[in-house]
Structure 1
Amino acid sequence: MDERKRESIVAYLRRRMADFGIEPEDIATSIAADQERLRAVRFRDASGNKWDGKGAPPQWVVQAISAGQSLEHFAIDGASNRDPDKRTGADWRNDPFAGSRLATIKTEDVSA
C-alpha cells in the first residue's frame, strides 16, 4: 500500500472515531480485553468453537463427549506461546466421525 493511500485511510478512521467519540485509548483497552479473553480459552474444536473450561460445558463439548471424544482432545496446549500469524490446521487423526456418514453429509443433502 502506498503512503498516500495509507494516510487517507488513517485520516478517514480518525474522522469516524471523532464522529463516534472513540478515543485511541478506548481501542487499546478493547484490544487488550480481547487478547485477555483469547488467552483464557482452554478448549477449542476444529470448527473454531471455544470454551474457557469454566461453568457448564457448551453444547459442542457435550456432543463431542457423548460421541466418545475426550475433553483432552480439545485442550489448547501452550495457546499463549503460539505464533499468532501461523494458521493452525485441524487434526483429523482422532476425529470420532471420520469415515462415518456424519463426516460425508453435504449441507444440501440435509432436509429441513
Structure 2
Amino acid sequence: MDERKRDSMIAYLQRRMAQVGIKVADLAAALAADRKRQKSARYENAFGDTWDGKGAMPQWLMQAQSAGQSLKHFAVASESKPANRGQAAVDWSRDPFAGTRLASVRPAYSAAR
C-alpha cells in the first residue's frame, strides 16, 4: 500500500472513530485484551472461539465432541513445543530439482528383482 493510500485510510478511520466515540486508548485496550485471551486459550475452533480449559466446557466444544471430534483436534499449539517433534526441517526452497522431471519421475527398475 502506498503512503498516500495509507494516510487516507488512517484519516478515514480517525473520522469514523470520532463519529462513533471510539478513542485510540479504547482500541488499544481491546486489542491487548484480545491478545491476552488468545494467549490463554488452550482450545480453539476454526471460527476463533476459544476456551482456556477452566470452568464449564463451551457449547461449541461439547457439540464437536458429541459429533466424534477429539479434544486434541482443537488444542492450540504452544510456542514452546517443537512443531515437527524432533524431525529436521527440510528447506525445499533450495532444492535444485524442484519443478524438474527429476523431482517427479520414479525409476523404471525395481530393487526387488
**TM-score between both structures, scaled by the size of structure 1:** 0.54
Give 3-state SS (helix, strand or coil) of 1:54's partner.
Answer: coil
Report the Cα distance in structure 2 between the residues aligned to 1:14 and 1:47, rounded to whole angstroms: 29
Measure how far apart 1:42 and its partner are: 0.4
Q: Is residue 6 from structure 1 mapped to residue 3 from structure 2 by the alignment? A: no
Contact 1:39–1:80 at 8 Å: present in 2 too? Answer: no
Sort the Cα spacing of 1:80 and 1:46 in 2 relative to 1 into closer, same or farther, 3 A.
Answer: farther
Sort the Cα spacing of 1:65 and 1:5 in 2 relative to 1 into closer, same or farther, 3 A.
Answer: closer
Contact 1:42–1:53 at 8 Å: present in 2 too? Answer: yes
Contact 2:38–2:50 at 8 Å: present in 1 too? Answer: no
Contact 1:43–1:52 at 8 Å: present in 2 too? Answer: yes
- Unaligned 5+ residue runs, structure 2? 82-113
- Percent sequence identity over aligned pairs: 57
Report the Cα distance in structure 2 between the residues aligned to 1:21 and 1:46, rounded to whole angstroms: 32
Partner of 1:77: 77
Looking at CA atoms only, which structure, 1 or 2, has the larger radius of gyration?
2
Measure how far apart 1:69 and its partner are: 5.0
Moved more, 31-40 or 12-21: 12-21
Bigger RCO of structures 1 and 2 (CA < 8 A, at least 6 apart): 1
Q: Is residue 18 from structure 1 mapped to residue 53 from structure 2 by the alignment? A: no
**TM-score between both structures, scaled by the size of structure 2:** 0.54
Measure how far apart 1:55 and its partner are: 1.5
Give 3-state SS (helix, strand or coil) of 2:22's partner.
Answer: coil
Give 3-state SS (helix, strand or coil) of 2:38's partner.
Answer: helix
RMSD: 2.7
